[in-house]
């Protein structure tokens, strides 16, 4: 069952809150999830704001919502009509029964901003990402890394390359401008290509701005927008209360490994295993799995000092570091002196090296070597 964890959470939210918000990138399965939840109820209506006829139905939204007060109303691409948020709030305040609306949005900027102003206390959110290792068999983990987590290309390998090229072109030429990212599609494609080559590295705004002939503030604004659109992740450095000189720049990752592989002209496992970015894309893939499946309230960081102490990922909650993680691909396990120094400096008890194979053993320095599937299923829920 695709997105089973989110489906279970969605069922709970619909039974408690008047409004469920489902946000995430396009083509990730938001509509399918919403319709699955709605199918369990007897009276539902689906409205797609990209359809002119459906938009006409909501021309007088207040009257329409009153007419179908006893229905669960699904509104897809709700960010396309911001005027709906206060009208939905008013309708909910007149009748606060659970399960009145499911709102779907392809990007956070408009959905979160408008709904947080208008719907506070009335809505609960689910962020839907691509398929993850908890939703596929362990034999498919490497396929998931190579092809990425968007359901259509993962489940239909024959359309993989064509689907991804169309996805990128549609985002650049239509979706991002529609959501408010004003950038020439050719320039934006260059930015994405550069970000693919910088995947897993600390962000240097000056170098990007020089290469793309814009100022650093423009680059930062573009990256923040892409992150809010669920396309990239800017992993922040962990700043401990320490006198050590810490790296302060964030690290940038595409959230879907299949998209970054397409941008790097990687189309199969043989292309990937011989590529200079192999280690970085594996690292980003594992980080995305942790991001999607981490315990509620947890935050992810990386740690690096100018003296070489570093860890790829820290999992923190309420100011306490729950785990320190290094991510490796290959049969040999080498934990550097800097990794051990970082774990010791931060007094981390739970230390992991996450690999691709199903290992599970403890090194003399306290690091547990574990496969990504084992970590996700056995260790992450306990942190």
Q: What confidence tens digit (pLDDT) does each residue in 225-259 have?
A: 899 889 999 999 998 766 667 778 999 999 999 99
User: Do residues 72 and 95 touch, judged by C-beta distance below 8 A?
Assistant: no
pLDDT digits (tens, 9 = 90+) for 295-318: 999 999 999 998 889 999 999 999
Residue 102 sits in the same domain as residue 195: no
Residue 196 sits in the same domain as residue 151: yes
* Of the candidates 373, 336, 334, 377, the residue with the CA atom closest to the CA atom of residue 356: 373
Residue 109 sits in the same domain as residue 168: no
pLDDT of residue 41 exceeding 90, the answer is no
Q: Is 119 exposed, middle or buried (0-12, 13-18, 19+ CB in 10 A)?
A: buried
Specify the higher pLDDT residue, 228 or 143: 143
Does the residue 133 lie in any domain? no
Domain count, the chain: 2
pLDDT digits (tens, 9 = 90+) for 337-351: 999 999 999 999 999
How sure is the predictor about 118, in pLDDT bands with cuts at 50, 70 and 90? confident
Does the residue 83 lie in any domain? yes
Residue 305 sits in the same domain as residue 208: yes
Specify the higher pLDDT residue, 138 or 180: 138
Does the residue 132 lie in any domain? no
Residue owning tokens 């992450």: 380
User: Do residues 320 and 295 touch, judged by C-beta distance below 8 A?
Assistant: no
Residue 113 sits in the same domain as residue 201: no
Residue 374: its pLDDT value, please? 96
Residue 123 sits in the same domain as residue 143: no
Please provide the average confidence, as pLDDT, over all residues in the chain.
Answer: 92
Residue 109: its pLDDT value, please? 54
Please give, one letter per residue, the 3-state secondary structure of 147-198: HCCCHHHHHCHHHHHHHHHHHHHHHHHHHHHHHCCCCCHHHHHHHHHHHHHH
Domain that holds residue 324: 138-382
Residue 97 sits in the same domain as residue 209: no
Does the residue 109 lie in any domain? yes
How sure is the predictor about 3, in pLDDT bands with cuts at 50, 70 and 90? confident
pLDDT digits (tens, 9 = 90+) for 80-101: 888 899 999 999 999 999 999 9
Does the residue 332 lie in any domain? yes
Residue 116 sits in the same domain as residue 163: no
Among 106, 127, 148, give the residue marking a domain's end: 127
Does the residue 337 lie in any domain? yes
Among 72, 100, 127, give the residue marking a domain's end: 127
CATH classification at residue 55: 3.40.50.300
Lowest mean pLDDT among 38-42, 51-55, 208-212: 38-42
End-to-end CA distance of the chain: 25
* Of the candidates 289, 281, 258, the residue with the CA atom closest to the CA atom of residue 153: 258
Q: Is 77 exposed, middle or buried (0-12, 13-18, 19+ CB in 10 A)?
A: buried
Does the residue 229 lie in any domain? yes
Q: What mean pLDDT comes out for the span 54-63?
A: 95
Among 127, 162, 197, give the residue marking a domain's end: 127
Residue 339 sits in the same domain as residue 208: yes
pLDDT of residue 111 exceeding 90, the answer is no
Does the residue 361 lie in any domain? yes
Residue 249 CB contacts under 8 Å (≥ 6 apart), including other chains: 202, 203, 204, 237
How sure is the predictor about 190, in pLDDT bands with cuts at 50, 70 and 90? very high
User: Do residues 183 and 222 touch, judged by C-beta distance below 8 A?
Assistant: yes
Residue 147 sits in the same domain as residue 268: yes
Residue 239 sits in the same domain as residue 369: yes
Residue 176 sits in the same domain as residue 242: yes
């Amino acid at each position: 069952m695709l997105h089973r964890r989110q489906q279970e959470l969605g069922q709970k939210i619909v039974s408690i809150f008047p409004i469920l918000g489902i946000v995430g990138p396009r083509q990730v399965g938001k509509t399918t999830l919403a319709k699955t939840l709605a199918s369990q109820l007897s009276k539902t209506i689906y409205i797609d704001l990209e359809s002119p006829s459906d938009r006409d139905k909501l021309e007088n939204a207040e009257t329409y919502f009153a007419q179908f007060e006893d229905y669960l109303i699904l509104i897809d691409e709700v960010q396309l009509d911001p005027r709906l948020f206060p009208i939905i709030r008013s309708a909910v305040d007149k009748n606060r029964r659970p399960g009145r609306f499911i709102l779907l949005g392809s990007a956070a900027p408009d959905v979160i901003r408008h709904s947080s102003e208008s719907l506070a206390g009335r809505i609960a959110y689910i962020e839907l990402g691509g398929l993850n290792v908890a939703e596929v068999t362990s034999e498919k983990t490497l396929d998931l890394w190579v092809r990425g987590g968007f359901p259509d290309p993962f489940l239909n390998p024959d359309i993989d390359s064509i689907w991804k090229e169309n996805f990128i072109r549609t985002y650049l030429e239509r979706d991002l401008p529609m959501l408010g990212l004003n950038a020439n599609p050719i320039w934006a494609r260059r930015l994405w290509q550069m970000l693919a080559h910088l995947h897993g590295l600390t962000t240097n705004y000056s170098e990007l701005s020089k290469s793309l002939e814009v100022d650093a503030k423009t680059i930062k604004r573009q990256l923040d927008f892409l992150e809010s659109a669920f396309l990239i992740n800017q992993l922040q450095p962990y700043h401990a209360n320490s006198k050590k000189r810490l790296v302060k720049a964030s690290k940038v990752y595409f959230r879907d490994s299949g998209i970054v592989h397409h941008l790097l002209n990687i189309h199969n496992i043989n292309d990937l295993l011989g590529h200079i970015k192999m280690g970085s894309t594996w690292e980003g893939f594992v980080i995305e799995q942790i991001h999607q499946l981490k315990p509620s309230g947890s935050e992810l960081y990386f740690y690096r000092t100018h003296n070489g102490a570093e860890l790829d990922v820290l999992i923190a909650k309420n100011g306490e570091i729950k785990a320190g993680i290094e991510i490796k691909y290959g049969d040999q396990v080498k934990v550097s002196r800097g990794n051990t120094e970082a774990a010791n400096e931060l007094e981390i008890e739970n230390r992991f090296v996450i690999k691709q194979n199903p290992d599970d053993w403890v090194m003399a320095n306290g690091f547990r070597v574990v496969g990504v599937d084992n970590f996700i299923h056995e260790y992450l829920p306990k942190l």
